[in-house]
Every structure is written in structure tokens, then in C-alpha cells.
Amino acid sequence: MSIPQKIAEIEAEIARTQRNKATEYHLGLLKAKLAKLKREMLAAVSAGSGGGAGEGFDVSKTGDARVGLVGFPSVGKSTMLNRLTDTFSEVAAYEFTTLTCIPGIIRYMGARIQLLDLPGIIEGAKDGKGRGRQVIAVAKTCSLILIVLDITKPLMHKKIIERELEGFGIRLNKLPPELTVRRKDKGGLRIVKLEACPKLSDETVSAMQIVSICKEYRILNADITIKRASTMDDLIDVLEGNRAYVPCIYVLNKVDAATIEELDVLDRFPHYVPISAENVSFTQQWNLDGLVAKMWEYLDLLRIYTKPKGAAPDFNEPVILPRKKCAIEHFCGKLHKSLVKELKYALVWGNSVKHFPQRVGKDHVLCDEDIVQIVKKI
């Protein structure tokens, strides 16, 4: 039996298995087997593809963040790239106009954001159809994914794209699970649920499921710490270790063709931005500025200004840092790799300090629009 057939068989068995205490162990075993089979299938497709990534898919990272445009063919991705950047991407009325990855740069709030126009994907992209694996692999490296949807086409495309990205290990608008697995030589499986863990729900992974999943991965001795309610999928993601947790915005294009009632319904969904990026005339563009502002919000970037000794701060070209890595150490690394070793201390003006200026060390965490002066060792 081939791997796709095994996957289909396990998915069918999971669908027909009732969820109760008697089936917890069995369900955990099935989900672990399913994840391993999907990984094997992706590895087999990658090994058999040959020839590398292909022309246009080896775009190097530039700028302060990378944003990828993902969607079905002819939903307006190339038009969006043309409108938001100075780059030209061919636009036509037929599908699959874009066959390679075309980069552009958005300049906003002092930051340079790399925008990638990716070829349209189709159902089965995660399995290699239509160069889909190459497209999704590039999307996996992005700081933010824009799923572009056409309101004149079925919105069921949204679920198909989500399923394809999920199948390739991309988790959209999800935080990494607060669950750790520390292997050891002996002692069996020790499961610890911290007091801060919320009230367990039906979706929360049980001890029996944890044992069955770990057994499938041949993990017999480990300390498993659960800081908050986690599911079987969360545990499998941690054990697989190759998941990417990427924020996502659903861009609904061509909203000028929708009614007010339809927009009111769509406005209830989270992570949604309506736009019109038509290529006919300037008057048919709408809410592109709102989209860029939303992108900035989801990228969660900070602007840090530099101040040379004895001079005024430079407010024209800030240093852009992600909020997750915004200590003085990261700030120095962004300026020059050797600056961290030469750092004596830093003087900081802004919301991250109590008085101006305040002397801080390399572990000090900065806030948006802080001003920093670096003092080197003599």
C-alpha cells in the first residue's frame, strides 16, 4: 500500500472513531502515525523532485521583514505587488501568469519590508502539484503571510489554502504550544501539568493519549511539561519539531463587486482586510494603505533610533527590530556583528527606562521609538 493510501485509510479511521475515554489511546496512536506518514511523503516528494528549487525560488532575504502573497491563480497578487511596491509583475486575464517568485520592497515607517509575489497554488500543492511545495516552502520562511482571496470566486478557497499550508507544517495565527518534552535515559514518562494551566476541555490531550503518541515516536523516558491546555496536534507538532508559526492576514480583493450586506458579514471574521487593487485606474484602488498598516501591526516591529555621541538622534533611518528580539544585544547585532563584544554600556532615552538617559547593559529590553547611544570599551 502506498503512503497516500495509508494516509487516506488512517484519516478515514479517525473520522469514524468516536471520541471518548475508551478510544483516547487509539486516537493518539492514529494521529501520531498520520503525522509520521505525512512527513515521509513530503520527504519522498522532495527527494524525487530533483533539480533544486527552480528559477525564481531562490530569492534571498532583504529588508527588515518578509511578507508572502499566497493564493489561487488570478486573485490579484501581482496587481497588489505592482501597487504596493516599485516592482513590476506581469498581470493578465489568464491563470498562472506568474510562474516564478517576484520580490518587491515596501517602505513604511522607516522599515523596508520585502513583499513576495508567489505563483498561484492549487489543491494538492503540499504534495507537489503545480510546484506547490516550492511555493509553500518560500511562504514558510516569511514573517507574515497574506492569503489573497477573490470575492468573485468561491471563498472555499480559503479552507483549501489553509489545509495545504497546514499540511506543510505552517501554523497560521497560532502561538507555539507551551509544552516541552525533555528526554531522559530512564524513569518512564513523567507528565507535569502546571497550576497555571486553564481548565481542561474536551480537546485537551489526556495522559493516555500522551503515552500512545510518545510510544509511536519511540519515546519511553521523558519529562513532559504542559503549561497550558494543549491538544494532541500540539504534542505531535512539538515532537516533529519542524513547524513554523506564522501570522496571517486574509486579504479579500475586488470588494467593489460585493454588496454592503456581504461586507457586513465578512467583517465579523478575524484577521480580515478588504481591499480593491484593480489595475484599470487609480480610482479603483481602495484600502491599500489600511492593508499596509495592518501588515505593520501583525509584523510587530519596533523602531529604535540611534544617537551618535555629541549629536542629535537620527530619526530618518531607524533600526528595525522584531518585538521578540529587541534587547540591546540584538540592537548591536543589527548594526554590526562585532559591536556586541565591544559594548561597554548603552545610554537609552524612551519608554523602556525610568530616567533619561539611563545606563543599561546588553540584556535591557527596548520599546518602540527608544533612542540608543552605544558606548564602546576603550
Residues of the chain with CATH 3.10.20.30: 302-376
305 DSSP β-pair partners: 371
Angle, in degrees to the nearest 10, between helices 24-49 and 132-140: 110
Q: Are 125 and 132 in contact (CB under 8 A)?
A: yes
End-to-end CA distance of the chain: give it in Å, rounded.
69
Q: d(Cα 148, Cα 230) in Å, to the nearest integer? A: 30
Q: What angle do CA 172, 177, 179 make, to 5 degrees?
A: 165
pLDDT tens digits along 206-218? 788 888 899 899 9
- Return the CATH fold of 302-376: Ubiquitin-like (UB roll) (3.10.20)
Give the distance between the most distant pair of CA atoms in the chain. 73
Cite the residue boundaries of each domain of the chain with CATH code 3.40.50.300.
65-174+244-299
For the domain bounded by 65-174+244-299, which CATH number is listed? 3.40.50.300
pTM of the model: 0.84
Strands 222-226 and 189-193: parallel
CA distance 168 to 244: 9
One DSSP character per residue, 137-176 reads HHHHT-SEEEEEEETTS-TTHHHHHHHHHHHTTEEET-PP
How confident is the prediction along the chain (378 residues), in pLDDT tens digits per residue? 788 788 889 889 989 988 887 888 888 888 899 888 888 877 765 555 444 444 446 678 889 999 999 988 888 888 898 889 987 766 544 445 556 788 999 999 999 999 998 888 877 656 656 566 778 888 899 999 999 998 877 678 888 899 889 888 899 999 998 889 999 999 999 988 775 554 444 456 778 888 889 989 999 999 999 887 788 889 999 999 889 999 999 999 888 877 788 778 777 888 999 898 775 444 557 889 999 999 999 999 999 999 999 999 999 999 999 999 999 999 999 999 899 999 999 999 999 999 999 999 999 999 999 999 999 987
Question: Is residue 355 classed as helix, strand or coil in its secondary structure?
Answer: coil
Q: What are phi and psi of 331, to 5 degrees?
A: -60, -45
The reply to whether omega before 357 is within 30° of 0 (cis) is yes
Q: Are 331 and 304 contacting, i.e. CB atoms less than 8 angstroms apart?
A: yes
Angstrom distance (rounded) from CA 213 to CA 191: 13
